[in-house]
Amino acid sequence: MLSGDWRRPPRGRSRELAAEPGLVVEEVETGWCGAVVHVEKAGGVHVVSLEDRHGRVRGFPLGPGFLVDGSPVILTPPVAAAKATLAAARQAAARTASGSVAVTGERAKVASGSRIWVEGRHDAELVEKVWGADLRIEGVVVELLDGIDDLDAAIREFAPDPQHRLGVLVDHLVPGTKESAIVEQVRRRGDYGRCVKVLGHPYVDVWQSVKPARLGWSQWPDIPRSTPWKHGICAALGWPHATQADIARAWKQILGTVGSYADLEPTLLASVEELIDFVTVPPD
């Protein structure tokens, strides 16, 4: 008598079954019978929604406590959804933060002769976070400028040529500004014109190239000219801004909201991508 499965429940032992949409199940405790509509995660718990024949929908915790054709089952997340989630994760892992196809098993190239110049440390850190993987593969170094007041002299000292191209990213490049006048002077030069490209963005500071929604705003606030711009932004966010260390911490928090190119404004994206293309073009 004891040689068989004498502890087996009358309805049989539960088996795992994926809660695919359309599967008809019965919840044991309530007797609710319906087709699986969808499975979602709420409050850390997977919930399966069942629609009965009258079109009413009710949710139950995913797991044991269900019957299919009278047999007990343990509902598990749907296989199709799990595969889709895995595929999405793999696709994301196959892309760099800039959206480029990730190259695996490839060492960074030895730095080429070409360079990209940016105006400040924050610009460089943002470019590194989003385009760093691409730049290392291409062997392009990003260097800091201490402002652009002497941009023409700095370019002449660099001595660009077809093997040593130079791309420059300028902040607040809008008509009528000091920056626009300096850049126009550089663009008019004929001796290094084909080997230098100067582009910019319209934002007061590179902070502003981060989409405001990442900070809970619909748009970046207007800061009075009498207030240092970064201090005004920190005040609007309710962050400390009395010292340079406070400003540095604020930038780290803003930079932390950037996960990929999708968190940046298109104007900055277009300029940086064009500069990378320019300095990586093989010599004629």
Q: 0.85 exceeded by the pTM? A: no
What residue ranges of the chain have pLDDT lower than 50? 1-2, 4-6, 101-103, 108-110
What whole-number distance in Å separates Cα of residue 5 and Cα of residue 117? 76
pLDDT at 85 (0 to 100): 58
Torsions phi, psi for 240 (to 5 deg): -60, 145
pLDDT at 268: 94
**Residues with Cβ < 8 Å from 222, sequence gap 6 or more?**
none
Q: Which of 200, 210, 205 is nearest to 255 (CA)?
A: 210
Do 154 and 185 form a contact (C-beta atoms < 8 A)? Answer: no
Cα–Cα distance for residue pair 13/79, rounded to 1 Å: 22
Question: What is the spatial distance between Cα 127 and Cα 165, in angstroms, rounded to a whole number?
Answer: 18
Residue ranges matching CATH 2.30.30 in the chain:
15-84
Can you list the alpha helix ranges (DSSP code H) found in the chain?
79-93, 121-138, 151-158, 178-188, 229-237, 244-255, 266-279
Q: Check: CB of residue 134 under 8 Å from CB of residue 160.
A: no
The Cα 63–Cα 13 span in angstroms is 14
Give the pair of three-digit tokens for residue 212: 């405001």
pLDDT of residue 6: 47
The reported pLDDT for the residue numbered 223 is 94
176-184 LR contacts (CB < 8 Å, sep 24+): 179/148, 182/148, 182/149, 182/151, 182/152, 183/148, 183/151
Nearest Cα to Cα of residue 274 among 177, 190, 165: 165
Quick one: CATH architecture of 15-84?
A: Roll (2.30)
Q: What is the pLDDT of residue 124?
A: 93
User: Which residues, listed in sequence order, are joined to residue 58 by a DSSP beta bridge?
Assistant: 50
Helix axes 266-279, 121-138, angle to 10 degrees: 50
pLDDT at res. 171: 92
Cα→Cα distances 276→70, 98, 115, 134, 264, Å: 64, 12, 9, 9, 17
